[in-house]
Structure 1
Amino acid sequence: MDKELPRRLRVAAEAHRPDRARILARVERGMAEGGPAARVVRPPRTATPWLRVAGATAAVCGVLAAGAFAVASAGGGGPRGDRVAAPPSSSGTTSSSGTTSATGTTDTTGAPAAPGGALRTEDGPLWTDGAVDPHSNAYWAQSNVTLRTTEPLSSLAVELRIARTGGVTSTGSWRSLPERDFTVSVSEDGGFLVYRWALKPGRTVPAGTHTFAGQYNHAEGERDASGDYLTAHAVRASGQRASVGDRFGPAR
């Protein structure tokens, strides 16, 4: 080995002067090309719990905001008005000063009134009677309309009005005459549950005694039927008209 080599290497090292400009240029070029100098430095492991807390907080805030938005969208800012309107009355109207009955009689106390106050149970060949069926009980009742005619009828309309005292809701109706001969409806009008039977055009009601009945639930106990009434309007075969009516009382 050349004994002078170590000395020469030491002298060369001492004489070397690094080219700083060239080194900086290489570093900048490496960063621009995505080299090691351009790598993102991750935070120390001790910072990880804080990042997790921050992330969880942000997630909770997002859930709360989404929930608030959903509630506001579903609620519309207030309670919904899911109310069903009662069918309009075909024979009477209601004003702020009182209630108008089927024939226009107004009671300023707010209680529906029967037409003309008094009802006539007999008119020519037509006669009627209204009574609560004796098989009614503390929760359910049936109101019977008995109609008798000594002549055939070419037109007939029977209306049974049950005052809407506590818990009154319809459970059905029937009539002794053929079902196919009548149009039947049940509605709420002016504080009454109203059953209507109307003879169809071209049909006739024979002479005899006939029954129409409305059934309904009511609040527990003995129900006061004194506010209930019926009316019947008919046209005789001769073309003459007849009208009758009656008020209800206790079951009998």
Structure 2
Amino acid sequence: MIDPLADSTATAFALLAIELHDAPSVEETVDAVVQFALQALNCTYAGVALHTRGARSEIAAVTDPVVAEVYELQLNNQSGPLVTALRERTSVLIRDTNHDDRWPEWAAKVSALGVRSVLDVPLATGGGGSRTVGVLGLYSPDPDAFAPDDEAVAHILARHASVALASARHEQNMAQAVDARKLVGQAMGILMERFDIDSDRAFAVLKRYSQDTNTKLRDVAQQLVDTRKLP
């Protein structure tokens, strides 16, 4: 006999997978994830923080300003369940911020915001979650709000979200790379016409200005196209 609840959950995840696949950008992908979390899990607030290479994590989506405050408290000090989930690629459950002593200062501030239960689940891709994309955060004003079923659904949601986000980021990076090549090509064309030089020489000029001014090649090209002048 088919469990109607399990069947409806499976159907919901199937629809989510389609929605995430069709999302045209990283922003719309994370928004779909947090909105689904509100519907499928026993949480009042949800958010996604994305890992940014070489910089602090980015707050990508929140369903309420309180989530942004919860994130900022951790990102500013680089301490808390979000940071731990991101670094160690492991889920962190706080049953009651009033009685959790792992991050006492943070927990006291979060409790004062009205958040009692916290579940942070890493968004990771690759074998064994070898690459962390970000963290899905779930929050409730009630203590001990997340049952084992909620944790199981959260992990399934995280797997769907991880693949979708990795794909969206890849497509976004590819699009930016194509745009950059087109821009550099335009800048090279301007130099070739103005100074009667070939493409190799034009690229060398752009590269030299990029190195001398410690400016990205794309930005040098953009300035030349916009102003018709080199930096």
TM-score by length of 1: 0.23
Higher helix share: 2
TM-score by length of 2: 0.25
Which structure has the higher relative contact order (CA within 8 Å, separation 6+)?
1
Q: Which has the larger radius of gyration?
A: 1
